[in-house]
Structure 1
Amino acid sequence: MAGPHAGPKGAAGVNLIDRYVLRLFLRTLFYGLIAFLGMFIIIDLVDHVDDFIDDEASILSILKFYLYITPAYLDYCLPIAMMLASMFTMGILGKSREYTAVLSSGVSLARMCRTLIVFGLIVTGLSIVWREGVVAEANRRHHDVRQYEIEGRARNRLNSRRNFAHVDEDGRVYLVSRFRPRPPTLEWVSIQSFTDSTMTSRMDARRAVWQTDHWQLENGSRRDFAEDGTETVTPFQSLRLSGATEKPANFSDRAIDPEEMNWVELNEFAGWVERTGGDPVPYRAEMAHKISFPVINLIVVLLGLSIGASRRRNTLWSGFGATISAAFGYYLLMDFGLELGRSGVLPPLVSAWAGNVLYGALAVFLFWRANH
């Protein structure tokens, strides 16, 4: 393979090395992204082909289905491609005479790879922007194509929901165990009214049934809280909920998956959940993960360079298995941390960043050893 002239001297020679290394890396990265993206789509197509046939999905709907899932797949496979590109770049350099000539001229491994490390940092920033500006919206559209165009669900169809909180435009809070769409019913519902963040009344009912233009509460009690702290309890068998403007569709709206929200939307949603008495921890964990995942792109560059440098005397494919194993091990560790964060076992920041800290420390150590 052609490369820079042996033993480059001065700034011009160093810049020539930078351009050569980056060009080699980008070419490998491009082919890697195409290969992994194609593999992901083929696997997904095999998994969904029976559903497409059963739902009689049109070719256009299937194309839109994969058009909108492509940004998420690119985001997911980018770190793997970055790591492989780093390993193959270093492996190719190690097979050339230019590599030995460059090191003999006094240019260290760290200096020779500086451009790729800076590139990894840039990709990390761009990945965050990509996730926030493209992936979340594409995931929403992918969901809509799947449900409404392929599965044929009606957009105005009411969906059942469990264990959720809802706040109306007047600040009234509804805590609902279950919403049934037919007939529209709220089961085990608690309706709380506030004035200046102070609860003034609470109505608890076995159910609330929609009656054309209002909710009718059944088998419950109303509690009114006076300013002096006294409480008045009034049981009821049936009570019309007055002053409420919420209709069944307001309670039927599907809960948006965190993958369909960007960081700002997720932050607002977590705050709303917390204000209405819900548990915001799973969403805080998702927020932290949205920032920590793109950092993988920088860390895997160091790992790939280290693996490639340590195996430069072997075949290029000798480090392929180690690279793939390390990449997917990294993903498993990040996913495991996210689950611990969602469940509250670990604080959100710890759950999101523990994998990066461990793999980052390993990458720095291996790169330091390869450089020396």
Structure 2
Amino acid sequence: MPKALRNLLWPFLFLISGAGAASVLCPAESAQVAERIIGYPDSVVPAYRLRPWLIGIICFVPFIASVIYRCSSTLDRYTIRVFLNSFAICFGALFIVMFLEDIQDNLSDFQESPQMWELLAKHYLIKLPALLVFILPYSLMLSLLWALGKMSKSQEIVAMIQTGRSITRIVAPLISFGFLTSIVCLIFNYHWAPYADSQEKSILDAASGKAKTEAKHVAFQNGDDTRQWYVGSFPFDHSQGAPLQSVSISVLDEHQTLRQRIIADTATWSLEDRKWTLTKPVIFDFSADETTVTPHQSSLVFDWPETPFQIIKPGLKPPLLGIPGLTSWLSNHRDHPLSDKRTYLTHWHYRFSLPFMCLITILLAAPLGIVFNRRGLGGGVAVAIFLCAGMIFCSTVFPTLGESGHLPPFIAAWATNILFTFVALILFYRRMTGQPIYQTIKSWFGS
């Protein structure tokens, strides 16, 4: 086979496989979005309609990466190959460790179900995006330190510098890889990683035979402020007709005066006729001078426009909502006096900022992995581990400060990225100017 055709083989195979995957996944995602929009008529529809397009982008990421690789120079391709070998080992090892730890914790629950293998496969297929988002930054840091340390030890970095390349130019393909993984994490973090976190408990409950509950003790007020709902328990499959449990509905007049209260054991919403059926409701009427209580032994049907999706939305926790869900929540509840806007807005910004930790990890690890003496590698690894622990700590503390109102939501979400990008630029400057990093830090602590 000619060399030109051999170079095009892998991009062509990735293009075909990506097109095949997109032809299957995108229509399925579009169908889920269409069902979601029916249940959430007040949603920000463009945010949901973006989901199939993002799935399509994910399918073609290997093709895009292979084209970029083929268009790179010989030294860049060599650097990428060395890094990818280390990355495959580090990522695979962390993935196996996380998988074995999770299955050890949850295997007893799955063994209680007669559909063990089906639920097991469903659980880890749904959980895969969240797992990838979690372990990618650590895999990038470990593999970059390993790859650049090995190239430094064999004097390959020095040889590249002697060809006229700067340190920034040497690590440029690795920074590009970090940017690409950040985009992948951003797409997963848009919807599928938070969705995986929200589904984990329900799948484990189903495996152990418990009732699958998506939310409890949810309060909701409709758009024209004429009905206030309180739902004791939301079953996980409420969209398929499962009844809501322990329902109380307060009906108000235009002056916000309580006129009627309806209490029922269950309330079921029909997707076909969009009507509510309340089982054996008890109606308290406050419109007359005396309160009347009317119990019904049969079911009553009400033509209310609210849907279970709208009612459950205030009961969903921000960490379990993706960007479409958070955008819709903020659009509908931003001016509500009882809404916790800070928490949802902080998580909305955090959904965008978190994936770029992959790129920041590359920027931190690159100057620490490149060393020009034998003693520097161990010190660089120590500093990298210390900085990684600092990133984990800050990515937990700053969003908490945003949720509590001590920091603006935007600053709380992006503060970790801004802080450690500044640290990375300092490390790059010291490495480019030949100034020691580990020895300087050690002298600070020593003094």
Query: Scaled by the length of structure 2, what TM-score is found?
Result: 0.64
Alignment of 1:262-281 (within 5 A): 262-277=322-337, 278-281=339-342
**Partner of residue 345 from structure 1, selected from 398, 403, 406:** 406
Corresponding residue for residue 20 of structure 1: 78
1:225 corresponds in structure 2 to none
Q: Which amino acid aligns with 2:188?
A: W
Deviations 1:209-228 (A, max 9, x none): 1274656247xx77xxxxxx
Say which SS state the counterpart of residue 232 (structure 2) adopts: strand
Q: Judge conservation of contact 2:250–2:262 (CA < 8 Å) in 1.
A: no
2:95 match: secondary structure: helix
Residue matched to 2:145: 87
Specify the code of the residue in structure 2 equivalent to 1:38.
Answer: I
SS of the residue corresponding to residue 228 of structure 2 reads: strand
The C-alpha deviation readout for 1:160-180, integer Å capped at 9, x for no partner, is 733632427x7645264x637
How far the C-alpha of 1:76 sits from its partner, in A, is 0.8
Provide the residue aligned with 1:245 in structure 2: 304
Conserved 8 A contact 2:232-2:246: yes
| Residues 22 and 269 (structure 1), Cα distance of their counterparts in 2 relative to 1, 3 Å cut | same
Give the Cα–Cα distance (whole angstroms) in 1 for the partners of residues 289 and 406 of structure 2: 40
Contact 2:130–2:188, Cα closer than 8 Å, also in 1: no
**What does the per-residue CA deviation read over 1:178-233, in whole Å, with 9 as the maximum and x for residues that have no partner?**
6379995456x76556xxxxx6434288x741274656247xx77xxxxxxxxxxx
Over 3 Å counting, the alpha-carbon distance change for 1:65 and 1:104 in structure 2 is same
Q: 1:179 aligns with which of 232, 236, 255?
A: 232
Work out whether residues 175 and 191 of structure 1, in 8 Å CA contact, stay in contact via their aligned partners in 2. no
5+ long unaligned stretches in structure 1? 1-13, 194-198, 223-233
Q: What corresponds to 1:358 in structure 2?
A: 419
The answer (yes or no) to whether the contact 1:179–1:251 under 8 Å persists in 2 is no
Cα shift at 1:53: 4.3
- Give the distance between the partners of 2:307 and 2:189, measured in 1 at CA: 33
Considering only aligned residues, what root-mean-square deviation do their CA atoms show, in Å? 3.7
- The answer to whether the aligner puts 1:122 opposite 2:176 as a matched pair is no
Q: Distance in 2 between matches of 1:339 and 1:92?
A: 39
CA distance in 1: counterparts of 2:351 and 2:324, whole angstroms: 11
Go from structure 1 to structure 2 and tell me whether the alpha carbon gap of 1:57 and 1:345 turns closer, same or farther (over 3 Å shift). Answer: farther
For 1:151, the equivalent position in structure 2 comes to 208
Q: Distance in 2 between matches of 1:324 and 1:31?
A: 18
Give the secondary-structure state (helix, strand or coil) at the position aligned to 1:201.
coil
Shift of 1:343: 2.7
Change (3 A) 1:342 1:216: farther
Change (3 A) 1:19 1:349: same
Structure 2 Cα separation of the partners of residues 120 and 113 of structure 1: 11
User: Which of the numbers 74, 94, 99 marks the counterpart of 1:41?
Assistant: 99
Question: Secondary structure of 1:313's match?
Answer: coil
Match of 2:217 in 1: 162
Name the counterpart of 2:283: 216
Flag the 1:41–1:276 CA change in 2: closer, same or farther, 3 A: same
TM-score for the superposition, normalised by structure 1: 0.75
More helix by share: 2
Is the aligned partner of 1:135 residue 2:189?
no
Secondary structure of 2:126's aligned partner: helix
Describe how 1:204-353 pairs up with structure 2 within 5 A: 208-210=262-264, 212=279, 216-217=283-284, 237-238=291-292, 245=304, 253=312, 255-277=315-337, 278-310=339-371, 313-314=374-375, 319-353=380-414
Worse-matched range after superposition: 137-146 or 333-342:
137-146
Please name the residue that 1:11 is paired with.
none
Encode CA deviations 1:305-330: one digit per residue, 9 max, x unaligned. Answer: 12112475238565444433322321
Is the Cα–Cα contact under 8 Å of residues 165 and 273 in structure 1 kept in the other structure?
no
Q: Percent identity among equivalent residues?
A: 22
Cα distance in 1 for partners of 2:193, 2:92 equals 18
Aligned residue pairs: how many? 334
Partners of 1:119 and 1:238 lie apart in 2 by 70
